[in-house]
Structure 1
Amino acid sequence: MHRGSCLCGAVRFTVEGELPAPDACHCGKCRKHSGHYFVSTDVPRSAVTIEGADKVGWFQSSEKARRGFCSVCGSSLFWDPLHRDWIGIAMGAFDTPTHTRIAVHVYMANKGDYYDVADGVRQFDTIPPRP
């Protein structure tokens, strides 16, 4: 069981089971949503329980996805691809050790010019196909 919350605690969540290795997305939308690049783990919707769901604000950022944040403190929490059976949860929102590491950096062609990525993790200019 993994637990997490927003900054003020109005939104809390639990995830049952292991957390898949997260993706680090450097696209412009993720950078604006998070203030840097957005690192999230994709988990089955059925594994997630959200307390304070009425405090989650949703912004439809594209035809394919919406982004969830705490409407009280503004914490970026979720990346929700519509019509999929999974949801991305921000790694920084977890309270407990996650026992995972970033698996891939995506949209590197759009990354900010103020930082370098030199962690040895695979990098792609788009999203690689899912297995």
Structure 2
Amino acid sequence: MKGQCLCGATTFNVELSNHDVHVCHCSICRRQTSGVIMTIDIKQGTLKFDQQAHLSVFNSSEWGERGFCNACGTTLFWRTKDQSYCNINVFSLENIPQDLKLNLEIYIDNKPKFYSFNNETKKMTEAEVVALFSASTE
């Protein structure tokens, strides 16, 4: 599948792992996007950039990093530093699959009280997410 940033300066191809959409409520995602970010998992090693002169990667934690276009600011991906796991901004896809399903909310204990989703989703706390990714990087 093809994807790109808002201005088109950063383009990529990717293979999706599934059509499950995840929402992150962590303070970094909320600050970065002025809301939540909605992501979709990709198959390991399939994120390939066609145009990447404006791609920047931000070291956001001990085990994670975020990719974005430094020309327009579009958030493109979050991945573990060893690149064993990566998800992309679902709205960066040129053709969004019609059968997407919101199925997971992470950092649920960081979610502000002024919004909520109607969907029934699996929910993970910050501690559960940190434990999951910390275990995979040891």
Taking structure 1 as the reference length, the TM-score comes to: 0.85
Aligned position for 1:25: 24
1:5–1:94 Cα contact (<8 Å) kept: yes
1:44–1:85 Cα contact (<8 Å) kept: no
Task: Using the TM superposition, give the Cα deviation of residue 112 of structure 1 relative to its aligned residue in structure 2, in angstroms.
Answer: 2.4
Aligned position for 1:118: 118
* Paired residues for 1:1-131 under 5 Å: 2-16=1-15, 18-98=17-97, 99-126=99-126, 127=128
Question: Cα deviation per residue 1:77-126 (whole Å; 9 max; x = unaligned)?
Answer: 11021124232111111110223212211111101233122212222323
Please give the alpha-carbon distance, in whole angstroms, between the structure 2 residues aligned to 1:14 and 1:100. 18
Question: Cα deviation per residue 1:41-87 (whole Å; 9 max; x = unaligned)?
Answer: 12134222212222111111111111111010011111021124232
Q: Are residues 84 and 58 of structure 1, via their aligned partners in 2, closer, same or farther at CA, if it must alter by over 3 Å?
A: closer
Q: How many residues align?
A: 129
1:27–1:111 Cα contact (<8 Å) kept: yes
2:14–2:46 Cα contact (<8 Å) kept: yes
* Higher mean C-alpha displacement, 97-106 vs 65-74: 97-106
Letter in 1 for 2:67: G
2:17–2:41 Cα contact (<8 Å) kept: no
Please give the alpha-carbon distance, in whole angstroms, between the structure 2 residues aligned to 1:85 and 1:107. 20
Please give the alpha-carbon distance, in whole angstroms, between the structure 2 residues aligned to 1:18 and 1:123. 20
2:16–2:40 Cα contact (<8 Å) kept: no
Q: Are residues 53 and 39 of structure 1, via their aligned partners in 2, closer, same or farther at CA, if it must alter by over 3 Å?
A: same
Task: Using the TM superposition, give the Cα deviation of residue 20 of structure 1 relative to its aligned residue in structure 2, in angstroms.
Answer: 4.4
In structure 2, runs of 5+ residues without a counterpart are 134-138
Letter in 2 for 1:122: K
* Higher mean C-alpha displacement, 120-129 vs 57-66: 120-129
